[in-house]
Amino acid sequence: MARRLGYRFVDTGMMYRAITCAALDRNVDLDDHAAVARLPSNVSIAMEPGAPDAPQAARVVVDGTDVTDRLRSPEVGEAVSLVSRVPKVRDAMVALQREMAERGSVVMVGRDIGTVVLPDAPLKIYLDASSEERVRRRRQELLAVGRDETLEEVRKELALRDEIDSGRAASPLRPADDAVVIVTDQLTLDDVVERIMEAMPCR
């Protein structure tokens, strides 16, 4: 979408995964909310455009090191919801995301964009899929980077993340009341892009 519209792209989930990388590298106890809460003030996160022909629309740099290729690792996937549930972490990330949005037209993705980060966005899209389809897609992502997890392992990882994200006090996962909901099970990537283009207000 961002490439088609000529907008900047911000994947906020990658920002939370980036700070999770920092927590793991620094051996922060993820059950110590006070220690996790101190991370945003001590970690530098930058998002840079990916190459035009690259699969990633953006690269993520933490304290000067490109961590993009680590962000989808099982280690980070298992820990990210534990980090992102801490209110002070979310407050810091939301402030940074709003600052990014103020710089001009942007396609911003994440689990709380329409409800918390940008509640006045002119278009809010909530992409959904069945549990089995999400498991299948996630396993394909892992296989693409050489990680052969079983379907059951992937299912447990996604279920745990959903439970934490939906039940957290800060920015729980839910669609905005005025979001356009698109169920993507039977849709290709191009189909989804076309559905979103059809929903866009006049530009």
Determine the average pLDDT of the residues in 34-63: 82
- Residue 10 DSSP one-character state: E
Per-residue pLDDT at 94:
92
Report the Cα–Cα distance between both ends of the chain, in Å, rounded.
14
Q: How high is the pLDDT of residue 33?
A: 92
Where are the chain's structural domains? 2-199
Q: Are 154 and 142 in contact (CB under 8 A)?
A: yes
Whether the per-residue pLDDT at 10 is higher than 70: the answer is yes
pLDDT digits (tens, 9 = 90+) for 88-141: 998 999 999 999 899 999 999 988 899 999 999 999 999 999 888 999 988 888
Rounded to the nearest integer, the mean pLDDT of the chain is 87
pTM value is 0.76
Within 13 A of 69's CA, how many CA atoms are on the CB side? 7
pLDDT at site 84: 87
The predicted model gives 3-13 an average pLDDT of 88
What is the model's pLDDT at position 54?
61
Binning pLDDT at 50, 70 and 90, where does residue 34 land? very high
* pLDDT (tens digit per residue) in 134-161: 999 888 888 887 778 888 888 888 888 7
> Residue 203 above 60 pLDDT?
no
**pLDDT interval class at 36 (50, 70, 90):** very high
CATH number of 2-199: 3.40.50.300
Task: Give the model's pLDDT for residue 167.
Answer: 64
Q: Do 185 and 130 form a contact (C-beta atoms < 8 A)? A: yes
The encoded tokens of residue 32 equal: 């110590």
Q: What is the pLDDT of residue 153?
A: 87
CB 149 within 8 A of CB 142: yes
Residue 165 predicted with pLDDT over 80: no
